[in-house]
Structure 1
Amino acid sequence: MNKANGAQGFNLNQLISDRYPELTKSEKIIANFIRKNQEEAAFLSAGEISERLNLSEATIVRFARKLDFESYPAMRAALQDNFRRRVTHSSRLRGRLQDMVSEGDVLERLTATEIDYLSQAVLSIDRNEMKKAVDLLRQHQRIFVFGLGPSIPLVGLMELRLRRFGKDIVPLICSGRELIESLITLQSTDLVFVICFFDQNPALQLLLDYSRQAGCKTIILTDTLGSILGDCVDVVLAAQRGPVGEFHSLVVPMTVINALLLTYASEEQDQIMPLLDKLDALREKLNRFTSQRNG
């Protein structure tokens, strides 16, 4: 294993400085971009960097090899690993708290920030991808919804709404053996909806790999992983939640999910409205039984 691939938290700036004299003019452009934008570059594909810098993807690959990486994905993986070690949960929260407190009223500042992020999300979401996602929701009866950690409430939101819309929902909110127990029933006629941000974990990799084997359609709602996992899924809903290194709320992804569900509901009103009427009737009956018992 070479120096770059084997380092535990390598110093990118030092690595680039050591090799800088050996780089071509184009490779130096890449070096300067990555050095100044390490957080963003860690989640960009070679194609995205080449498009931004007006260079060929082959040049990006050669640059990575000049730094002793086997490939550009290997360099990007090292950048991501280095970034995760540097940007911990506590550091992200600490940074957000410092910004909030230093600029006055926390509620006012947080609200303004979330509005800004929502505005960015409006621009970043591909409407064609949204339409594809709605079409897949309409076409599939059983939907597996995956999300871990902070994404679990979003899984719960989708489970509640889609179940009321008449869908069969399988929530996937655990990793390890619990995930495997649920996956064994996955079939090609099912839809997989993945909610994940920032981190690729073994459970996610297993789910995507097994979904491909089963022949399932897959949707992913993410912020930074679209370019990395885009080839593994059918639809990417890329919702930007602000700078990668900051503490993030669920406002942006929750808004995207609500927009998705409302669009679906508007196109399936004839099916959904009778189900909601039945739900209201059952609630009314339950209330009567409860009143009689308490009376």
Structure 2
Amino acid sequence: MEFNWNIETMSPKQYKIADYIQKNTHRVLLSTEQEIAEAVKVSIASVSRFWRIVGFKNLKDFKVHLSSQLEVSPAGKFKNVMRKVEDQELQHHTLSLSINHLYKTIEELSENSFQQTIELLSNANKVYIHCPGPSIGLGELMTYRMARFGIDIRLINKGGSELFESIMHLRDDDVFVLFGFIRLLPEAKVLLDYSKEIGTKTILITDQLVSDFTREADVVLFASRGEMRDFHSMIAPTYLIENLIIALGMKAKEDNVKRLNTLGMLRKRYSTDLPR
């Protein structure tokens, strides 16, 4: 559900409240201000002030508006699925959480942002990927698959001042993909700032729906990973990356089929020399 928050007027605490509401719309309908405050780890007074910031008298006024906007939707069906797997074995519990992350990701996915991403990646001179920590696997997946489509793609895993060795060659027709889960690392902030200065387009993949740093990128894609204190699943980010790869493959279908046919031919021809 779109709220169109005016995040420019929000404090850091209000960012957190807005992000929580965006991710837990149906739960908020049944919550008190105290429960919201405890979930976000802010004071009740901060929650009370929040409603006026976003144009409502109080929580009750917000709930009335929210109820009028919500209809019977896939969310209701999804809750039934969740009930069926409650109190079952670990793998079933994990499955329910994964379904939840996928559902939230699909619900918040902007088709416009997705298509913008495909256009930027397919037309880039070079694609650079900054994927710190647990996102390294996502960056490697993108690099491995997209290189097959003839895309010149570079993985950036350096930190600190060594980062400058990689970004000194950036051009205005390049594209930078950054992963910003929970928060942005100092390196990512530098990358966004310098890219903006020289005209390099940036794509930010994040698990934050509302934050100050989402305004810094040209395109933002959301992938659900869970709340701050949860185990952070990579199911939804992987789903998002795989869909980007498939869409890129379809962008120039005939050329990419030829490339893959060449790959198959090479594997077959040299199968005894370089077995898989």
TM-score, length basis structure 1: 0.64
Residue type matched to 1:54 in 2? F
Alpha-carbon shift at residue 209 of structure 1 (Å)? 1.0
Structure 2: distance between partners of 1:154 and 1:39:
30
**Bigger mean CA offset, 149-158 vs 117-126:** 117-126
Structure 2: distance between partners of 1:207 and 1:103:
45
Alpha-carbon shift at residue 290 of structure 1 (Å)? 4.4
Residue type matched to 1:256 in 2? L
Residues 191-228 of structure 1, C-alpha deviation per residue, up to 9 Å, x if partnerless? 00111200221111111111112210111110116532
Pairs aligned (count): 210
Structure 1: distance between partners of 2:260 and 2:42:
44
Instruction: Structure 2 unaligned segments of length 5 or more: list them.
Output: 1-12, 14-32, 44-49, 58-85
Matches within 5 A, 1:55-94: none
Match of 1:125 among 93, 109, 122: 109
Does 1:259 find its partner at 2:243?
Answer: yes
Alpha-carbon shift at residue 256 of structure 1 (Å)? 0.5
Q: Tell me if the contact between 1:220 and 1:233 (Cα under 8 Å) persists in the aligned partners.
A: yes
Matches within 5 A, 1:1-295: 35-38=37-40, 52=54, 54=56, 103-224=87-208, 227-290=211-274
Q: Tell me if the contact between 1:147 and 1:173 (Cα under 8 Å) persists in the aligned partners.
A: yes
Q: Which residue of 2 aligns with 1:8?
A: none
Structure 1: distance between partners of 2:104 and 2:234:
14
Structure 2: distance between partners of 1:36 and 1:290:
58
Q: Which residue of 2 aligns with 1:84?
A: none
Q: Tell me if the contact between 1:121 and 1:241 (Cα under 8 Å) persists in the aligned partners.
A: no
Residue type matched to 1:257 in 2? I
Tell me, what secondary structure is at the counterpart of 2:211?
A: helix
CA distance 1:278–1:225, shift in 2 (3 Å): same
Q: Tell me if the contact between 2:176 and 2:201 (Cα under 8 Å) persists in the aligned partners.
A: yes
Q: Tell me if the contact between 1:218 and 1:233 (Cα under 8 Å) persists in the aligned partners.
A: yes
Structure 1: distance between partners of 2:142 and 2:34:
42
Alpha-carbon shift at residue 52 of structure 1 (Å)? 5.0
Structure index of larger Rg: 1
Q: Tell me if the contact between 1:40 and 1:244 (Cα under 8 Å) persists in the aligned partners.
A: no
TM-score, length basis structure 2: 0.69
CA distance 1:290–1:36, shift in 2 (3 Å): closer
Structure 2: distance between partners of 1:185 and 1:245:
39
Structure 1: distance between partners of 2:224 and 2:123:
27
Q: Tell me if the contact between 2:127 and 2:152 (Cα under 8 Å) persists in the aligned partners.
A: yes
Residues 21-59 of structure 1, C-alpha deviation per residue, up to 9 Å, x if partnerless? xxxxxxxxxx97973452599xxxxxx97675537xxxx
Q: Tell me if the contact between 2:172 and 2:198 (Cα under 8 Å) persists in the aligned partners.
A: yes
Q: CA RMSD in A?
A: 2.7
Residues 112-147 of structure 1, C-alpha deviation per residue, up to 9 Å, x if partnerless? 210121111110111111111111112113100111
Percent identity, aligned pairs only, is 28
Structure 2: distance between partners of 1:161 and 1:231:
29
Structure 1: distance between partners of 2:260 and 2:53:
48
Structure 2: distance between partners of 1:32 and 1:279:
59
Tell me, what secondary structure is at the counterpart of 1:287?
A: coil
Q: Which residue of 2 aligns with 1:88?
A: none
Q: Which residue of 1 aligns with 2:70?
A: none
